[in-house]
Amino acid sequence: MDQVKLRSNDNSERFVTRDISTTDADGVSRNFFELKGKVWLISHVFTRCPGQCAGVCAVLNELRDDVNDEDLLHLVSVTLDPSHDEPTHLKAFSEKHGLVSKDWWFLTGDPDQLNNYMMEVFSLSAQEKNEEQRSGPDDLFAHRPMVALIDHDLKIRGWYDPFDERSNKSLRKNLFSVINDMKSSKGS
């Protein structure tokens, strides 16, 4: 099992310091360290989601369009339902919603490892609903629609609710600030 460890300093900064092996919608093995040097946004989705997952992806897609530079920004959507969401399901979801792009990974992997990693590293979690809690057969998980912003040095810069107006404005502001910082540090 891939181990997860957070490094922090006196300012409680959090970094992604360990990696995990995942599989993308094309069946390609991916790991998060491949994204060092890029700014990225990470969120949870599941392909049978009856509600907010497509909306989170729509907000991320809008941000990607605003940045308009695949060398600067990468998007990562990790399934909450790795037991069901095989690469073919993720591919169909991304195609259905017009999200197919080399700068956007839809990832799956070992259910226990992936869910533990997402919780421990990114504080993104979900809880499976029992039948009484479900509003329909595909209403499988209780989860907050959160997006984490990661900078080019793998520092976690913050967590944002894409549906909350103030949080979304903060996400936009901080995203462009981090991108500008990265450009400055690279001398662009």
Residue spans of the domains in the chain: they are 13-185
| Residues 179 and 73: beta-carbon distance below 8 Å | yes
Q: What percent of the chain has a predicted confidence (pLDDT) above 70? A: 91
The residue-averaged pLDDT of 164-182 equals 95
More confident residue, 150 or 137: 150
Mean pLDDT score, 155-164: 95
d(CA 20, CA 18): 7
User: Among the CATH numbers 3.40.30.10, 3.40.1160.10, 3.40.1260.10, 3.40.109.10, which is that of 13-185?
Assistant: 3.40.30.10
Q: In this predicted model, which residue has the larger pLDDT, 124 or 163?
A: 163
Can you tell me the mean pLDDT for 4-12? 39
Distance CA 188, CA 186 (A): 6
Q: Report, as an integer, the average pLDDT of 75-87.
A: 94
pLDDT of 71: 87
| Strongest mean pLDDT among 14-23, 126-135, 179-188 | 14-23
Taking residues 51-58, report their average pLDDT. 91
Output the six-digit token pair for 185: 């540090």
Question: Is-contact 105 74, C-beta < 8 A?
Answer: yes
List, in sequence order, every residue forming a beta bridge with 42; answer none if it has no partner.
Answer: 76, 148
pLDDT score for 4: 29
